Chains A and B, each alone.
Chain A
């Protein structure tokens, strides 16, 4: 549906359409611009000016203060996100491979049960999960969060790979079996090399989900093991002392930059993941 008329005439309605779209662009950009401007202002500047007033002097003091406060938690988020993304993607790939190419009696039922996990409100598993983490000695550790993210990320990662692999002709696996290849050989030599796009989608989806998570972070971690989202929330919502909005905004930017960066660099896969995750089953 790219074209309705073969040559878009530059008439009034097209100008109106462009104007509306441009206005929307500005509106969507406002919060980001405000965050950036505020983060580079001095507290006095913030008090005297308004949201969109140009800083009288650009200062990185907000950023350095924010970094000093949240850098440890930023590292925590990396320590949580990287292993959780890799592990859940790897398991999802293997699951998807079995569920599409090596179906057995009951595997479809299992897939159905797993699919529900995409919709599961995590509130219903928070308590038992925290008891379990306690029993495993993983309460309030980054490893515990890795485990939780892997477990509750499985539904989506499996879904991604399964839906990608069902579109690969089964004959490919049959041919490889006749060629004498086994389960893992077929996966490693034939299926995995074909999976680059879906691996990208899955990695990016999981990265955004886990980096942006707040619920698991706030429930399963405390103090030194908290991820950046929890630290940001604590920073912004402390009521002690004078509010330093430049620090708040810089910290919010720090928390948002990794996912924004991923979005800018690999937006294609990000959108594909969103819509693939949306059109479930």
Chain B
């Protein structure tokens, strides 16, 4: 049971080489489940290795329970890790795999036996104890790897993409199981993944990483609803958020985004006017489920007619693709919507929920903030 804090953690593999980790800054409370998520090569695994002490950091500090562990060897940090490849010792049977760390730590044999029995029961692997890892299925190996981590009762668990070697069905099962385990044991956990579903479902806190930098750190809901930039918005969510390049115009003091489906045009009002947005290259971010099928009699929301190009029924949803501003846009509709390729649909956007990004920097443009700022300037102007 422990808190974990990373202070300005920096990592480089040599002078002149690009930084692998840049100024990593985050803290989690006792018992929290932290997800490090990002594409391969973003530095998430390096960061995990640094937390474990398997790699040294070049600058900053790692604190566990407010104690600086940066210089400690892995064995003194009291951390256990579950690896993507499971890393079970192939020449030892399951019992010895679980007991290895306890033996090294010179725990008395009776206590070891007791601990192995406890863990085996917890993970329902009692019948596998005498087998070698080579005789186990992927899911069973996964359980043993978790058992090895659980046996030491460490302060922090680290999971390094533990589910990515499992087939789809097993992955979902194990995901739930890991969550159950965490709810029961309440041990502080850091979990590395490139799978955004795992990130959303498992984490109390999520850190989205790219190029060695934390792009955003927050709860899954914050990451999903309030992404800090284009990258975070595109990485989280499936099917991914639509990004529509738009031109803005001003009318009656309001900013309008122009949408063009080829057969119709629409001006989407974007809340309050913001002078600095005018004429800039802006990207409109809309999640597929935030595009609604417009009612015939109109409900006040702006809408646009667009031609259906492809439909993909997924079971629970119907994904419909249309083209807006020469960009393919995915809409997530109810499965019972009757529509065929070539049909024309009336699509509606809730202006309050669309996001705006700067096309150049990818940074999120906070409408509310600009609005407030706008108000302030306006107020001053008065």
Q: Using a CB–CB distance below 8 Å, which chain A residues touch chain B?
A: 169, 171-172, 174-181, 185, 189-190, 193-194
Q: How far is the CA of A171 from the CA of B86 in the complex (A)?
A: 8
Chain B, Cβ-Cβ closest to A185: B104
Contact flags B133-175 to A (C-beta < 8 A → 1, else 0)? 0000000000000001000100000001000000000000000
- Cβ-based interface call for B50 (8 A): no
**Cβ–Cβ contact A174 & B83, under 8 A:** yes
**Cβ–Cβ contact B89 & A190, under 8 A:** yes
**Cβ–Cβ contact B83 & A175, under 8 A:** yes
**Cβ–Cβ contact B87 & A180, under 8 A:** no
**Cβ–Cβ contact A174 & B54, under 8 A:** yes
Contacts of B86 in A (CB 8 A): 171
- Cβ-based interface call for B47 (8 A): no
Instruction: Tell me the residues in window 207-243 of chain B with beta carbons closer than 8 Å to chain A beta carbons.
Output: none
**Cβ–Cβ contact B75 & A169, under 8 A:** no
**Cβ–Cβ contact A194 & B90, under 8 A:** yes
Query: Smallest distance from the beta carbon of A189 to chain B beta carbons, Å?
Result: 8
**Cβ–Cβ contact A193 & B80, under 8 A:** no
**Cβ–Cβ contact B89 & A172, under 8 A:** yes
- For the complex of A and B, list the 6 residue pairs with the smallest distance between their C-beta atoms, beginning with the closest: A179-B101, A171-B87, A180-B75, A193-B91, A175-B87, A171-B83
Contact flags B48-82 to A (C-beta < 8 A → 1, else 0)? 01001010000000000000000001110001110
The 8 Å CB contact of B87, one of A169, A189, A193, A194, is A169
Q: How far is the CA of A169 from the CA of B160 in the complex (A)?
A: 14
**Cβ–Cβ contact A177 & B54, under 8 A:** yes
The 8 Å CB contact of A176, one of B85, B89, B152, is B89
Contacts of B85 in A (CB 8 A): 169, 171
The 8 Å CB contact of B81, one of A169, A178, A181, A193, is A178
Query: Smallest distance from the beta carbon of A200 to chain B beta carbons, Å?
Result: 16
Contacts of A178 in B (CB 8 A): 52, 54, 74-75, 79-81, 101
**Cβ–Cβ contact B104 & A180, under 8 A:** yes
Query: Smallest distance from the beta carbon of B74 to chain A beta carbons, Å?
Result: 5
Q: How far is the CA of A174 from the CA of B92 in the complex (A)?
A: 16
Contacts of A194 in B (CB 8 A): 90-91
**Cβ–Cβ contact B90 & A180, under 8 A:** no
A-B contact pairs, 13 of them (CB 8 A): A169-B83, A169-B87, A171-B160, A172-B89, A174-B52, A175-B81, A175-B83, A175-B87, A175-B89, A176-B89, A178-B79, A179-B101, A180-B104
- Cβ-based interface call for B84 (8 A): yes
**Cβ–Cβ contact A177 & B74, under 8 A:** yes
Contact flags B100-111 to A (C-beta < 8 A → 1, else 0)? 110011000000
Max chain B C-beta neighbours (<10 A), residue from A176, A178, A193: A178
Q: How far is the CA of A190 from the CA of B101 in the complex (A)?
A: 12
Q: How far is the CA of A242 from the CA of B138 in the complex (A)?
A: 72
Contacts of B75 in A (CB 8 A): 177-181
Query: Smallest distance from the beta carbon of B102 to chain A beta carbons, Å?
Result: 9
Query: Smallest distance from the beta carbon of B138 to chain A beta carbons, Å?
Result: 15
Contacts of A185 in B (CB 8 A): 104
Chain B, Cβ-Cβ closest to A190: B89
From known contacts A190-B89, A193-B91, infer whether A174 and B81 are also in contact, taking CB-CB under 8 Å: yes
Chain A, Cβ-Cβ closest to B76: A180
Contacts of A169 in B (CB 8 A): 83, 85, 87
Chain A, Cβ-Cβ closest to B152: A179
Contacts of B80 in A (CB 8 A): 178
